[in-house]
Chains A and B, each alone.
Chain A
Amino acid sequence: MKLKTLTAAVVAAGLLVTSVPALADLNFPMLSYRTGAYGANGAQFADGYADYFTLLNERDGGIGGVKAVTPECETGYKTDKGVECYESTKGDGALVYQPLSTGITYQLIPKVTQDNIPMHTMGYGRTSAANGKVFSNVFNYPANYWDAASVIVKHLSDVEKGDLKGKKITLVYHNSAYGKEPIRTLEELSKKHGFELKLLPVDHPGQEQKSQWLQIRRERPDFVIMYGWGVMNQVAIKEAANIRFPMENFVGVWWSGSENDVIPAGEGANGYKAVTFHGVGADYPIFKDIAKHVKDAGKAAGDGSNIGKVLYNRGMYAALLAAEAAATAQKMHDTKDITSAQMRDGMENLKIDEARMTELGLPGFGPEINVTCENHGGPGLAAIQQWDAKAEQWKLITEFVESDREIIDALIAEDSAAYAKENKIEDQDCSKG
């Protein structure tokens, strides 16, 4: 019996041990995933997120003089682990959550609202959370899945000189909640622009896509749009190259547009496009600072090899937006040690213009952002990037352009209204400004 009591005590103690950061720190927990089927992607994002905060701490002494910490909790992209991570970190004064998975996002939406902690789902999650009236604690600026679909279609329309009538567009998508997101938007857009939409789902994990690509080869669509994730991206791009589908007519969403996705296809991937809501490459002034204060100081989250990659940049951008929101909150409430509720206010009033981006060492990296109480979705601007296989580099080939607000706003209103009704949520009052 003694043995058992002892074991029980050890277990209980072990379950209680969680990282306890010094109370005065600003706490930005990371629900990262460095293992599992998507670990290769998750690691890059997490490195970028952590490195940016390290940079702020090292170079500026934190945010408004308060150090930031980024306790990391591994989710493996699994929803149940996500919940565990959330519960184990929220008690330590977590300011904002980046769940990094659509599944975890859906789970946490009611919880963060209950606990009054903001959640930022940048370019993923529940799209209709852009309606700040219904989703008071969820933010998905600067752009969402539906914006991506719309910007892609807009780009294709530009390629076709404004006329998509009668064109055939095929959507290859990950057969999951995430992959299904753009379908409704694309259906609306196909009505508006008169193109013919065809849907091709690919089951997780997506190593075998012969059927899908043979079908594409037979039907010769003018364009292929992809909402893929993980190994599905690499296989799809390889198969597209194999059937000699013109790569410049193949456009992926931002989760299908990292170096990981195109490099295995080698030369064949040259010309592949993807939509993005932030700049690519390491040609920004900030990377000098990162090299100096983070990498060379031996404080990088990973081994430093990810710096400047697409997903690293995205993680860094997410961290930047969180830090700016925290600074906004500090100013608004005139306190250095902000709470999660104050952080939420900061996010809701976040304004970043080009001048500020230049100041931060990232000129032209992202569009101007102006979050309001009604609009948690940001400007919905996105650009198209293209892969140069020789140089092994992504290049932005368009400006940040606006999505089709008319269609998307209607869809957001509809979906968020349904959610509000189902969960009996009353709109938050946005009049007090």
Chain B
Amino acid sequence: MPELLRPGSIDEAADLIARHGAAAAVLAGGTSLMRETYPSDGGYLIGVDRLGLDKVVSRDDGWSIGAAVPLSVLREAVPIPALQAATREIGGPAVQNMATVGGNLFARAPFGDLAPALLALGARLVFATADGETTQSIEDFYAGWTDGAPPRTGLLTRIELDALAGAAAYMKCARRRYSTPSVVTVAACVQKDGGTVSDARIALSGAHAHPLRCPAAEQAVIGSSLDDAAITAAAQAAEAAVAPQTDAVATDWYRRRMTGVFVGRVLAVLA
């Protein structure tokens, strides 16, 4: 059984994480980790409930979201519909009261339905390390994952999110309407100049070993008017870019196919 440590400051927490390395796991809402707690022997659980990370601070141009903010609080605090939709797709109401923004970003596939929304919205992640604070784009964070597992960057303390520029949409393909794992989850944020897409961020989870942005799909729509041909090209590019897993919910075959379908559907909403 691991030992629970509940540091009282961010510095202390960052030190514990640095000291214990792979033996340490950060315990936030506990909705994923608590299941694995008893079946593991040894190690440390580092609780983040005493670190004051449970607030959302509004900035003029966006929000600073504490990593331990529960999903139900995020939904009330940040009125971006694509992000609010994401918070409703993770477990039932009890889970949404417990699971945190930061914790969900570390969820193993096919879980982690918040990530595509934050990838599409261009969030930045701030980590506390033993050597001080470091900021990373969320796509760089996911680029650092190996074998479906996150890098050990330090303690995620907050998520910086700018006000929505352009239009964003979010869809989860799942076997049931509520409280169920993703087949594939897609979010996109598109900026248009006149009728032409000037910038696009298209992000996926469930479809790959970890959440990711999909540059090939983005390139397919940038410069287009989001016409059917561009959307089809983006959908095909996304299908080609992912390496989905097979699990009890869906096979890799079905996940890849739904990647295309749902990239298409999300972009159609934004067209």
Q: Are A and B a genuine interacting pair, yes or no?
A: no
